Structure 1
Amino acid sequence: MKNFKVAVVQSSPILFNLGETILKVGDLVGEASTQGAKLILFPEAFIPAYPRGLTFGTIVGSRSKEGRELWLKYWENAIEIPSSEIDVLGNYAKKAGAYLAIGVIEREAKGGTLYCTLLYFGPNGDLLGKHRKLKPTASERIIWGEGDGSTLSTFDTEFGTIGGLICWENYMPLARMAMYRKGVDIYLAPTADHRDTWQATMQHIALEGRCFVLACNQFVTKDQYPKDLPGLHELENQPEVMTRGGSVIISPMGEVMAGPLFGKEGVLYADIDMHEIGKSKMDFDVIGHYARHDVFDLTIHDQPETVSVNKHKEC
């Protein structure tokens, strides 16, 4: 399949509400599928929220009771794998006959650590796999654990290889190179970055990787936060528009195909012609004729992290 339609969903979750957000995802997937989309992307941390503006009661050396209550709310509305919620998301993909990629907050079933995760579902409804964010940025490190190289994932489909990185992972040159090495054709970049400068990064990745780039962000206003949310008073000095979007679709030659969309919810669509990737490789191929493998080398540790204990090790 060389030609198909993609959709990038710029919307807001029902913040801190797992069940209601799952239902909203179903409506949005249905909307995109009626337009013929065969690949549908949602933003970073869409389920249950990207908690912009909140501190979770943390300062260096202490945590507050209110912050722990907020954390509990966030933790309880995260998603586990496997779970009935995963099954529902898979059913949405199956009903749409499309690939679905969506940013979630994943709760580890054993231990309870939270991860910022990108889930991939196939058009048969199966969970194909996931990517856990390698390095949460700044205060994100308080609430999310770090992924490892085992989830630097790409997936072969009938129209090409899909994969991607989350938000500021896209500023990590070696992480991008790992994606290119895995042959990514459709590069997904769910994010929470709504700055104008993000657009230049997305165009750079398209040109560097000679791939289509689908970048996706939320549009969230302050009045969408639950009124009974612990720590809500921290938003008093925040702007009314907390996240203004900036979703965009870019060609392998760095040309903007749809968007960027700012200031409202909406769904971007683009018709993808996979022949454009082949044309773009004529003068630049970051893992091929432009790579200089005799000079540079990249090692990717792509096995799960393990902890070994040697009881007889001498100190």
Structure 2
Amino acid sequence: MKNLSANCKVALIQAEPIMFDKEAGLKKTLKLIFEAEEQDVDLIVFPELFIPGYPIGMNFGFSMGKRTEDGRCDWKRYYDASIVAGEEEFMQLSAAARETGTYISIGFSERDAVNGTLYNSNVIFEPDGTYQVHRKLKPTGTERVVWGDANRDYFPVTETPWGPMGSLICWESYMPLARVALYQKGITIYISPNTNDNPEWQATIQHIAIEGKCYFINADMIVRKSSYPEDLKEKAAISRLPEMVCRGGSCIIDPYGHYLTQPVWDEETIIYAELDMHLAAACKMEHDAVGHYARPDVLELKINDK
């Protein structure tokens, strides 16, 4: 492990997305970036699919072997609100990273520049505006009717003064070999943009922090029934949702599995914390999952990332 800068100040943003609205979502995102930057932070983290929101509870008219024109209409609206990496809206986020001099991680629905597929993606911008995009390897459950499997950008990491930083999106963290792929790259800051407000998830993230001996940044969002546009076609499914659809629970776990910040529920907020990067090395004394506490002569992970 290379020498690490001693401290990283993080702004973890738990907020309500502006659903199905790319322009308004981008405006809110930029506002939150500059608000967080006032606290002289190094890293700003947003949840999964913050632009244009995670449409929890919708099915876009899909059933086994069937689909509806109303569902297709809603899907096309979501498609239009998704972002092409490298185009105008995306580059406004890159410019914000340069202007604030921060690393910025944000989940977005990525529209491919060539084919017609959407991807559940996360981008990490560096302070000079360069970026690495990660596409979700396997959309979970019925997410597969909206987003495709990643066809590139499997396990990118960003080299930072605090060590390698990368992300796995939501249930990707339930893929043990995907976690190991990040551990093998020496990750010290593990970002999880997600929509998991169930209590079991809290046990998962504590385990991963211990297993990887890394800081785990759990970035969740707030979604209310009122978050959905009133003129969507899929009114029946939305009407059955509870008033609070996703409660958040964002928090930061240290490499010992302890809460550096406690989970925050049911409100929009910016969580500030300072990561003591000495822990990322010191806690490997007794356990290093890809080092002295491994058996590469017995167990081997092969990654096909080309």
Offset at 1:151?
Answer: 2.5
SS at match of 1:62: coil
Q: CA RMSD in A?
A: 1.0
Please say if 1:290 is aligned against 2:290: no
Please say if 1:34 is aligned against 2:38: yes
Separation in 1 of the partners of 2:152 and 2:85? 19
**2:199 corresponds to:** 196
**1:115 corresponds to:** 119
Please say if 1:88 is aligned against 2:92: yes
Aligned pairs, how many?
302
Task: Give matches, 1:1-315, under 5 Å.
Answer: 1-126=5-130, 128-148=131-151, 150-303=153-306
Task: Tell me, yes or no, if the aligned pair for 1:249 and 1:258 is still in contact at 8 Å.
Answer: yes
SS at match of 1:136: coil
Offset at 1:148?
Answer: 4.0
SS at match of 1:76: helix
Separation in 2 of the partners of 1:44 and 1:218? 8
Task: Tell me, yes or no, if the aligned pair for 2:133 and 2:153 is still in contact at 8 Å.
Answer: no
Separation in 2 of the partners of 1:139 and 1:16? 18
Separation in 2 of the partners of 1:252 and 1:279? 10
SS at match of 1:197: helix
Percent of aligned pairs with the same amino acid: 43
SS at match of 2:195: coil
Offset at 1:161?
Answer: 0.9
Which 5+ residue runs of structure 2 have no aligned equivalent?
none
Q: Write the letter of the residue equivalent to 2:115.
A: G
Offset at 1:80?
Answer: 0.3
Task: Tell me, yes or no, if the aligned pair for 1:149 and 1:300 is still in contact at 8 Å.
Answer: no
Task: Tell me, yes or no, if the aligned pair for 1:148 and 1:302 is still in contact at 8 Å.
Answer: no
Q: What TM-score comes out, normalization by structure 2 length? A: 0.97
Larger radius of gyration: 1
Separation in 1 of the partners of 2:113 and 2:161? 33
Q: Write the letter of the residue equivalent to 1:89.
A: L
Separation in 2 of the partners of 1:148 and 1:270? 34
Task: Tell me, yes or no, if the aligned pair for 1:150 and 1:301 is still in contact at 8 Å.
Answer: no
Offset at 1:150?
Answer: 4.0
Query: Bigger CA drift: 164-173 or 87-96?
Result: 87-96
SS at match of 2:42: strand
The 3 A distance-change label for structure 1 pair 65 and 149 is: closer
Task: Tell me, yes or no, if the aligned pair for 1:44 and 1:118 is still in contact at 8 Å.
Answer: yes
Task: Tell me, yes or no, if the aligned pair for 1:16 and 1:77 is still in contact at 8 Å.
Answer: yes
